Amino acid sequence: MGRDVIMREVGLRDGIQGFGEFMPTEDKLRWVRAEADAGMAEIEVTSYVPPKLLPQFADAEAVTYGALAVEGLTVAALIPNLRGAQRGFELGVHKLNFVMSASETHNQKNVRRSREASLEEFRTIVEQAKALPAERRPVICGGLATALGCSYEGSIELSEVLKWVGKLLEAGADELIIPDTVGYASPALVKRVYAAVLAEAGNIPVAAHFHDTRGTGLANLCAALEVGVRHFDASLAGIGGCPFAPGASGNIVMEDAVYMLESMGVRTGIDLDRLLAVREILKGSLPSLQLEGAIARAGLPRGFAPATLAA
């Protein structure tokens, strides 16, 4: 089945990392399997951080192994540092999403070190990855949080974003992730930033990661699509409230993003009905988690013809 864009589920990581209840490992894996069945090509399944920091990821090993058993699925995990990367190397995960911030203040608050120190760690991670046998070498993604704005520093200069993008590329990133961490981006800013990053990145894939905190999530996705982005993070039911914006919604809603893209003739490779059905796993496992989603509420338009199934 052809795909024009790659949608990447981040609900198992960004969506539940700050939620107060532990989601049982088997439920996480049911979610992973059900989404893979619906056509999701890539899932960020966990984060390799100390469980005492984020208890939700105490089962990171079991979740990784379980996800790796799903045929055809690209299994990714977030890493904040070298120790996390080394856990990933041992587990044989397919992709490691390293995170540092464009904002110095945010980097200090998030990973308690300077941006330069984070970058140095990233260089070491890439070197160690390259030393692995090819069949065990994961794809290393450089993520640049707050690239579209920061709750501490406000707007971030594009020149600053491009400087750190350049350093991540120089260090040997296989892919980039450019997130609007706190939901500050407008479609105009999205076009400016992603067009510039894509130009800098050349053949290196650039993923966009939007939060719908201020209602502009899908408009931002469209804007990024227009300038050439083809990799998008989103979370089932839009889970993942931002800790810097109480009451705000989280990631863009995967189902709504898939609906919008498919209705525009953009093939996601995802069966929307089967994707919508995965919400039941979330509901059953974490009944107090707030689920968002316009399509889940309103239903599909009469005569809706998804691009993926037409192909």
Q: Which of 20, 50, 284, 299 binds its own copies (CB under 8 A)?
A: 299
Contact between 309 and its own copies (CB under 8 A)? no
Q: How far is the CB of 177 from its own copies (least distance, A)?
A: 21
x/- letters, 26..65, toward its own copies (CB under 8 A): ----------------------------------------
45 closest CA partner among 8, 98, 99, 92: 8
Among residues 38, 165, 218, 276, which is the contact residue for its own copies, using CB under 8 A? 218
Which is nearest to 12 in space by CA: 28, 34, 30? 28
For 141, the 3-state DSSP assignment is: strand
State how far the Cα of 108 lies from the Cα of 160, in Å rounded to an integer. Answer: 16
From 92, 172, 187, 205, residue interacting with its own copies (rule: CB under 8 A): 187
In 3D space, the residue among 9, 123, 133, 129 whose CA is nearest the CA of residue 77 turns out to be: 9
Backbone angles phi, psi at 113, to 5 degrees: -160, 175
Q: How many residues bind its own copies (CB under 8 A)?
A: 44
Do 191 and 228 touch, CB atoms closer than 8 A?
Answer: no
* Alpha helices by DSSP H, 39-81: 60-68
User: Which residue among 24, 50, 243, 301 contacts its own copies (CB under 8 A)?
Assistant: 301
Out of 94, 248, 274, 291, which residue is the one contacting its own copies (CB under 8 A)?
A: 248
Name the token pair of 42.
Answer: 């890539």
Quick check: 18 binds its own copies (CB under 8 A)?
A: no
Q: Which of 184, 194, 210, 232 binds its own copies (CB under 8 A)?
A: 184
- Residue 140 interacting with its own copies (CB under 8 A): no
Q: What sign for the dihedral angle of Cα 119, 57, 63, 269? A: negative
Min CB(78)–its own copies separation in Å: 23
Distance of CA 229 to CAs 85, 128, 164, 206, 221, Å? 26, 29, 19, 7, 9
* 188 binds its own copies per the rule CB under 8 A: yes
Asked if 215 interacts with its own copies (CB under 8 A), we say: yes
Joined tokens for residue 252: 């863009």
Angle (nearest 5°) at CA 3 between 191 and 253? 60
Stretch that binds its own copies, among 1-9, 41-49, 168-176, 259-267 (CB under 8 A): 259-267
Candidate list 58, 62, 263, 274; residue touching its own copies; CB under 8 A: 263
- Tokens read off for 124: 């070491």
242 is catalytic: yes
Residues that bind its own copies (CB under 8 A): 149-155, 182-184, 186-189, 212-216, 218-219, 221-223, 245, 247-249, 253, 256, 259-260, 263-265, 293-295, 297-299, 301-303
Q: Which residues does the annotation mark as catalytic?
A: 242
